[in-house]
Amino acid sequence: MRIFLSSLAVLGALSATAAFAQDNKVVVELYTSQGCSSCPPADALLADLVGRDYVIPLALHVDYWDYLGWKDEFGSRDFTARQHGYARAANVETVYTPQMVIAGTDHVIGSKAMAVMDHIAAQRAQTAQVGLNAVRDGQYIKISATPHAAGLGAMVVQLVHYHPEETVAIRRGENAGKSISYVNIVTSWQVIGRWDGTSPLAMNAAVEGSGPAVIVIQKHQFGPILAAVDLP
C-alpha cells in the first residue's frame, strides 16, 4: 500500500547485561500496519529474523491506514514521521507498507524474503565504522562508542524500546477476522544524544522499566545506521 508524501502531515548494581556492536548487527526496520492486507507476510518474515544474532529486527507500526476501518493498536504518528524522513532522504515521493529499511539505507518491500536477505548480507559485509558498547546499570544504560574511521560527521544516538511479542485479533478493516502475531513492536524511538565522532563517546541513558531496548548510532538526517546493540 502506498501514500503520497503531500497527503500527510510529516510530521543500583551493575547488571550482567551488556552488548557490543562488534559483529556488524544489521538493524531491520519494518514499517507495517494492522490495517494493511499486504503486511502479514512481512510481519511473519520479521518474526523469522528474530533470534538471528546478526540482525536487530524492529516493527514500527504507522497510523496512516487507520481510516480503513481498524485503528492499529501499536500505530504511532512518530513512526509515520520516521518513515517519511527516510523517504525525504532517499528523494522519493511515496511511502508504503510493508516496507523494510535495512541499516538505514536499503529500502525493500518487506515481504520479499530473498531481497531482504540479500540486503542484510551486503550490510554485514561492510566494515564497521563505529565500535559501540552498552551496559545496563539499574535504570540506566551506560553507552560508549569509538570511531573506526575519520570524518564520520554528525551522528545521532538513539534509544529504542520495544515489546517482544503480541497477538492481536483484528475485527475490522482489510484484515478483519485474522489473529496476527507481531514481534519486536517498537513503543518509542528517541534521540538521546549527538556525536561528531572526533573523540570517544561516553554517556548514560535513562530507560523505562526492565523491558528490552536498543541503542542505535545513525548518521544525522536518516542516513546509514553505523552501529547498534540490543539489550534484552
pLDDT 10s digits, 79-97: 999 999 999 999 999 999 9
Classify the C-alpha dihedral 127-143-133-165 as positive or negative: negative
Cα angle 88-94-95, degrees, rounded to a multiple of 5? 90
Give the residues across from 169 on adjacent strands: 179
How high is the pLDDT of residue 109? 98
- For residue 84, which phi and psi values (nearest 5 degrees)? -65, -35
Residue 209 — pLDDT band, cuts 50, 70, 90? confident
How high is the pLDDT of residue 24? 72
For 48, counting Cβ atoms within 10 Å of its Cβ (0-12 exposed, 13-18 middle, 19+ buried), the class is middle
- Does a cis peptide bond (omega within 30 degrees of 0) precede residue 98? yes
Give the residues across from 31 on adjacent strands: 60, 99
Tell me the three state secondary structure of residue 158.
strand
Alpha carbons 110 and 39: distance in angstroms, whole number: 8
Q: Which domains does the chain have, with CATH numbers?
A: 2-231 (3.40.30.10)
How high is the pLDDT of residue 208? 82
- Cβ-proximal residues to 161 (8 Å cutoff; 6+ apart), any chain: 186, 187, 188, 207, 208, 211, 212, 213
With 60 as the cut, is the pLDDT of residue 5 above it? Answer: no
How high is the pLDDT of residue 160? 97
Alpha carbons 83 and 3: distance in angstroms, whole number: 11
- Who has greater pLDDT, 181 or 10? 181
Predicted TM-score (pTM) of this structure = 0.91
Among the residue ranges 22-36, 114-128, 169-183, the one predicted with the least confidence is 22-36
How high is the pLDDT of residue 10? 30
pLDDT 10s digits, 127-177: 999 999 999 999 999 999 999 999 999 999 999 999 999 999 999 999 999
Residue whose grid cell is 517482544 = 164
Give the residues across from 131 on adjacent strands: 146
What mean pLDDT is predicted for residues 34-38? Answer: 97
CB 172 within 8 A of CB 69: yes
Residue whose grid cell is 512481512 = 42
CB 232 within 8 A of CB 163: no
Percent of the chain residues past pLDDT 90, beyond the cut: 87
